[in-house]
């Protein structure tokens, strides 16, 4: 499942093609993905110009020139690719015919001649059209936590969000109503960098007076570091993630603990081994020696 860095990578790949372009033709090839498409989806988008392409949590937000926002979620296996109109349709390439064009569900043809195609084999993705004015009151966004890549995440924010919580730190970090877009991979990586056990109580990052501990400052910093490095690497390509130009992300080669059970801890001088435990149904990877 794409996490925040993968979605941000897709946003940065699509932005130059999409911003300022008009949607001259929209081809919707099925009635639904995870949910039905909005009513009159094609008619509401055709002729609209895209003014901006933002992101909130794992949602891509295309601001349209009629004050509506096209909201797009990649689900488990969604991806976008950009093609030039002049390029031969993939289906016509004979022996090189790509099987996965069967999962091309939406195509946006742009005034610039480019085409943006949404492909999603498992169809857990979805699209919505929501008025900009009420976007953040919509049920999709009402309870979404702070942005870990924005300026909101610091030690004080972690202390405020986690104070008094007996839940494991890992679970609190994955709670999307507290922090938006963090998933299993980047939480595992950040906790290793911070030297914090995923099993430690979340509330231990706040002092009795509610002020952040030194550990809270460190954790906030490494979360941002990990996410920024992952975005710079084009995200992590584990199953389906590709950037919009088709390139793979390569942050998976930088994993210190995620999916590395049994490997030596990469921290200099530690000598520990990466362990795997299951916490609330999700695998946690960590070093029992240097993560406390
Ligand atoms: Zn270690």
pLDDT digits (tens, 9 = 90+) for 225-269: 999 999 998 888 766 667 777 777 878 888 999 999 999 999 999
Question: pLDDT tens, 39-67?
Answer: 999 999 999 999 999 999 999 999 999 99
Residue 135: pLDDT over 50: yes
Catalytic one of 49, 132, 160, 282:
282
Distance 6 CA to ligand 1 centre (A): 27
Q: How far is the CA of 257 from the centre of ligand 1 (A)?
A: 9
Report yes or no on 238 lying in a domain: yes
Query: What local confidence, expressed as pLDDT, does residue 240 receive?
Result: 62
Count of beta carbons in the 10 Å neighbourhood of residue 143: 10
The residue segments making up the domain with residue 107 are: 4-137
Cβ pair 34, 264 in contact under 8 A: no
Q: What is the pLDDT of residue 101?
A: 84
Across the chain, the runs of DSSP E, i.e. the strands, are 23-28, 50-56, 59-64, 68-73, 79-84, 104-110, 114-119, 126-131, 274-279, 282-287
143 inside domain: no
Options 48, 56, 58, 193, the catalytic residue: 58
Catalytic: which of 3, 6, 8, 189?
3
133 is catalytic: no
Q: Which of 73, 108, 137 is the last residue of a domain?
A: 137
CATH of the domain at 227: 1.10.8.50
Domain check: are 227 and 172 in the same one?
yes
Strands 274-279 and 126-131: unpaired
Q: Is 95 exposed, middle or buried (0-12, 13-18, 19+ CB in 10 A)?
A: exposed
Report CA(267)–ligand 1 centroid distance (Å).
5
Q: Decide if 212 is catalytic.
A: no
In a domain, 117, yes or no: yes
For residue 117, how far is the Cα from the chain centroid? 19
Share of the chain above pLDDT 90, in %: 79
* 275 flagged as catalytic: no
Same domain, 61 and 132: yes
Q: How far is the CA of 193 from the centre of ligand 1 (A)?
A: 9
Asked if pLDDT for residue 179 goes beyond 80, the answer is yes
For residue 61, the cross-strand partners are 54, 71
Q: Are residues 87 and 200 in the same domain?
A: no
Q: For residues 160 and 179, give the distance between their C-alpha atoms in angstroms, rounded to a whole number.
A: 12
Express as a percent the part of the chain with pLDDT over 70: 93
Catalytic residue check, 2: yes
CATH number of 43's domain = 3.20.190.10
pLDDT at 266: 96
22, two tokens: 């008009």
Placement of tokens 């990649």 in the chain: 74
Strands 114-119 and 104-110: antiparallel
Give tens-digit pLDDT for 86-132: 655 544 444 444 556 889 999 999 999 999 999 999 999 999 999 99
What pLDDT shows up at residue 97?
Answer: 44
d(CA 98, CA 100): 5
Contact 291, 198 (CB under 8 A): yes
Average model confidence (pLDDT) across the chain:
91
Give domain status of residue 48, yes or no: yes
| Ligand 1 geometric centre to CA of 288 (Å) | 7
**274 in a structural domain:** no
pLDDT digits (tens, 9 = 90+) for 182-215: 989 999 999 999 999 999 999 999 999 999 999 9
How much distance in Å is there from the Cα of 220 to the middle of ligand 1? 20
As a whole number of angstroms, the distance between CA 162 and CA 211 comes to 11
CA of 287 to the centre of ligand 1 (A): 5
pLDDT at 99: 53
Does some domain include residue 244? yes
């Amino acid at each position: 499942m794409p996490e925040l860095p993968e979605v941000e990578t897709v946003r940065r790949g699509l932005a130059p093609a999409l911003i300022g372009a008009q949607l001259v033709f929209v081809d919707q090839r099925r009635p639904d993905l995870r949910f039905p498409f909005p009513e009159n989806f094609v008619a509401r988008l055709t002729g609209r110009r895209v003014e901006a392409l933002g992101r909130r949590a794992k949602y891509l937000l295309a601001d349209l020139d009629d004050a509506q926002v096209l909201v797009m979620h990649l689900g488990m296996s969604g991806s976008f690719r950009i093609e030039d109109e002049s390029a031969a349709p993939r289906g016509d390439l004979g022996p090189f015919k790509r099987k996965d064009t069967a999962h091309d569900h939406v195509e946006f043809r742009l005034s610039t001649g480019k085409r943006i195609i949404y492909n999603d084999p498992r169809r857990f993705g979805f699209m919505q059209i929501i008025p900009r004015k009420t976007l953040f009151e919509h049920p999709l966004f009402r309870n979404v936590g702070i942005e870990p890549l924005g300026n909101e995440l610091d030690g004080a924010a972690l202390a405020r969000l986690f104070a008094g919580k007996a839940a494991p730190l890992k679970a609190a970090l994955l709670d999307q109503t507290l922090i938006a877009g963090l998933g299993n991979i980047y939480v595992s990586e950040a906790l290793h960098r911070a030297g914090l056990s995923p099993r430690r109580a979340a509330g231990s990052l706040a002092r009795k007076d509610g002020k952040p501990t030194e550990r809270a400052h460190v954790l906030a910093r490494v979360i941002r570091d990990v996410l920024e490095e992952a975005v710079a690497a084009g995200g992590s390509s584990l199953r389906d993630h590709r950037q919009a130009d088709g390139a793979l992300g390569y942050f998976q080669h930088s994993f210190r603990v995620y999916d590395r059970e049994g490997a030596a801890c990469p921290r200099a001088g530690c000598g520990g081994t990466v362990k795997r435990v299951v916490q609330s149904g999700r695998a946690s990877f960590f070093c029992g020696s240097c993560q406390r």
